[in-house]
């Protein structure tokens, strides 16, 4: 081999070694930074832009793609202790001609966190309505999507502000009253003891607890490297006190069954999506909602737990697109199989 060619490979190898070593160092030493870069990359790839909007002294952070048109805009509400980027896996499979808005829920990520804020379900519904008004999203009725806590808020929102919402998708929503408690709810009832508040299963403080939470929420057993588990914990730990406060608020007597108490007031076409193997919120909640809401479609997913958005993003997107097509008679029913 020509000496000049050998020198070229040596130089190229040395040049590539620097970013490769930097990546490895980031993975091992700063996994939380790598996670943030991951979300930034996917937002950019999917064309989701981050913006901020203010209501008086309160700031909302949201991401969006597209512009309002003749089709309903879609507003997506994430679950407890998550953030707007949790929807990226679903956004990937949604048509690009839809106007999408994903907002950080009160106190989460880039949205204002205030010790004076009302974190009850009613309080969160009022905040989301402020956000909607700021964007003038309700200039035309929109499709509202929510999962878990976000589903709880979405359902109550549709009951309180029926003229804002054209249709509704609830993905394993919280807020229903069951005749019998599953194992997870039984564990929650032990949280009356002060020391038990530090052991809420959905608020991990160690990689081991993070792994247990993922197993609780997912039917699919993801093999997550220890460094990523540590990164996920590192990102959450500074917020855990807020998460504890929020959690105790949404399971309080004032909020726990808000959706159940208001589900008969939901008058818009509604899609219910639930994982059959949900260990957090029992799948029988789907029948409760279907019984109380007229024009309600139920889709139960096999081999799927509570984290429907993470486990079955393609299927979730297809169900939403098909539902919108059937309800709003659109012709953009994109094949996602």
Question: Is residue 155 situated within a structural domain?
Answer: yes
**Into how many domains does the chain fold?**
1
Quote the tokens at residue 243: 């998460």
Q: Could you tell me if 55 and 131 are in contact, meaning their C-beta atoms sit under 8 angstroms apart?
A: yes
To the nearest whole percent, how much of the chain has pLDDT over 70? 86
pLDDT reported for residue 55:
96
Q: Can you tell me the mean pLDDT for 10-35?
A: 49
Residue with the larger pLDDT of the pair 222 and 148 = 148
**CATH number of the domain that 303 lies in?**
3.40.50.1820
Please determine, for residue 15, whether its predicted confidence score (pLDDT) is greater than 50: no
pTM over 0.85: yes
Confidence grade of residue 23 (pLDDT, cut at 50, 70, 90): very low
Q: Do the bridges between strand 270-275 and strand 165-171 make them parallel or antiparallel, or are there none, so unpaired?
A: parallel
Q: Do the bridges between strand 165-171 and strand 142-147 make them parallel or antiparallel, or are there none, so unpaired?
A: parallel
pLDDT digits (tens, 9 = 90+) for 205-258: 999 999 999 999 999 887 888 888 888 898 899 999 999 999 999 999 999 999
- The single residue of 152, 278, 282, 307 carrying the catalytic annotation is 278
Q: Could you tell me if 310 and 89 are in contact, meaning their C-beta atoms sit under 8 angstroms apart?
A: yes
Residues ≥6 apart with Cβ < 8 Å to 293: 263, 264, 266, 270
Rounded mean pLDDT of the chain? 88
**3-class secondary-structure state, position 276:** coil
**3-class secondary-structure state, position 270:** strand
Q: Could you tell me if 290 and 272 are in contact, meaning their C-beta atoms sit under 8 angstroms apart?
A: yes
Residue 316 vs residues 105, 166, 337: alpha-carbon distances, Å: 21, 19, 11
Question: Is residue 323 situated within a structural domain?
Answer: yes
Residue with the larger pLDDT of the pair 180 and 320 = 320
pLDDT reported for residue 225:
86
Please determine, for residue 100, whether its predicted confidence score (pLDDT) is greater than 50: yes
Q: What's the CA gap between 67 and 83, in Å, rounded?
A: 22
Quote the tokens at residue 30: 């700063």
Residue with the larger pLDDT of the pair 184 and 104 = 104
pLDDT reported for residue 221:
82
Q: Could you tell me if 94 and 313 are in contact, meaning their C-beta atoms sit under 8 angstroms apart?
A: no
Confidence grade of residue 12 (pLDDT, cut at 50, 70, 90): very low
Based on the residue annotation, tell me whether 4 is a catalytic residue of this protein: no
Q: Can you tell me the mean pLDDT for 300-307?
A: 97
Residues ≥6 apart with Cβ < 8 Å to 55: 130, 131, 133, 134
Confidence grade of residue 332 (pLDDT, cut at 50, 70, 90): very low
Residue with the larger pLDDT of the pair 232 and 188 = 232
Residues ≥6 apart with Cβ < 8 Å to 10: none
To the nearest whole percent, how much of the chain has pLDDT over 90? 74
Based on the residue annotation, tell me whether 306 is a catalytic residue of this protein: yes
pLDDT reported for residue 224:
84
Domain that holds residue 217: 47-335
Based on the residue annotation, tell me whether 218 is a catalytic residue of this protein: no
Centre a 10 Å sphere on the Cβ of residue 267 and count the other Cβ atoms it contains: 14
Question: Is residue 14 situated within a structural domain?
Answer: no
Question: Is residue 27 situated within a structural domain?
Answer: no
pLDDT reported for residue 51:
98
Please determine, for residue 1, whether its predicted confidence score (pLDDT) is greater than 50: no
- The single residue of 78, 99, 143, 306 carrying the catalytic annotation is 306
DSSP string of 101-115? EEEPPTTSTTS---T
Q: What's the CA gap between 33 and 53, in Å, rounded?
A: 26
pLDDT reported for residue 192:
59
Vertex 77 angle, CA 202 and 284, to 5°:
65
- The single residue of 148, 166, 169, 258 carrying the catalytic annotation is 148
pLDDT reported for residue 31:
65
Please determine, for residue 176, whether its predicted confidence score (pLDDT) is greater than 60: yes
Q: Could you tell me if 306 and 218 are in contact, meaning their C-beta atoms sit under 8 angstroms apart?
A: yes
DSSP string of 159-222? HH-TTTEEEEEEES-S----SS--HHHHHHHGGGSGGGGGG-TTS--SHHHHHHHHHHH-SS--
Order of strands, sheet of 142-147, starting from the edge strand that comes earlier in the sequence: 49-55, 58-65, 100-103, 74-77, 142-147, 165-171, 270-275, 296-301
**3-class secondary-structure state, position 283:** coil
């Amino acid at each position: 081999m020509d000496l000049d060619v050998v020198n070229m490979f040596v130089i190229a190898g040395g040049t590539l070694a620097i970013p490769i070593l930097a990546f490895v160092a980031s993975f091992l030493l700063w996994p939380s930074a790598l996670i943030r870069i991951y979300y930034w990359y996917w937002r950019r790839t999917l064309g989701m832009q981050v913006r901020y909007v203010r209501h008086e002294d309160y700031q909302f952070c949201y991401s969006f793609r597209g512009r309002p048109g003749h089709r309903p805009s879609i507003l997506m509400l994430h679950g407890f202790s998550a953030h707007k980027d949790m929807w990226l896996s679903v956004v990937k499979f949604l048509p690009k001609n839809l106007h999408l808005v994903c907002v950080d829920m009160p106190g989460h990520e880039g949205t204002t966190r205030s010790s004076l804020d009302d974190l009850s379900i009613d309080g969160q519904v009022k905040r989301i309505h402020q956000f909607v008004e700021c964007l003038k999203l309700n200039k035309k009725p929109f499709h509202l999507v929510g999962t878990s806590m976000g589903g709880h808020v979405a359902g109550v929102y549709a009951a309180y502000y029926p003229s804002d919402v054209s249709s509704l998708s609830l993905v394993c929503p919280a807020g229903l009253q069951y005749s019998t408690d599953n194992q997870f709810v039984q564990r929650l009832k032990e949280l009356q003891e002060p020391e038990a508040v530090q052991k809420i299963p959905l608020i991990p403080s160690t990689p081991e607890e993070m792994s247990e939470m993922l197993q609780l929420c997912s039917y699919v057993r993801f093999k997550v490297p220890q460094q990523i588990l540590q990164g996920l914990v590192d990102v959450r730990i500074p917020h855990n006190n807020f998460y504890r406060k929020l959690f105790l608020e949404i399971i309080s007597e004032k909020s726990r069954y808000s959706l159940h108490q208001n589900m008969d007031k939901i008058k818009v076409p509604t899609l219910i999506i639930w994982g059959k193997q949900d260990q957090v919120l029992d799948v029988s909640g789907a029948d409760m909602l279907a019984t109380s809401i007229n024009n309600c479609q139920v889709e139960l997913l096999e081999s799927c737990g509570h984290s429907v958005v993470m486990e079955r993003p393609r299927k979730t997107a297809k169900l939403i697109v098909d539902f919108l097509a059937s309800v709003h008679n659109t012709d953009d029913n994109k094949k996602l199989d």
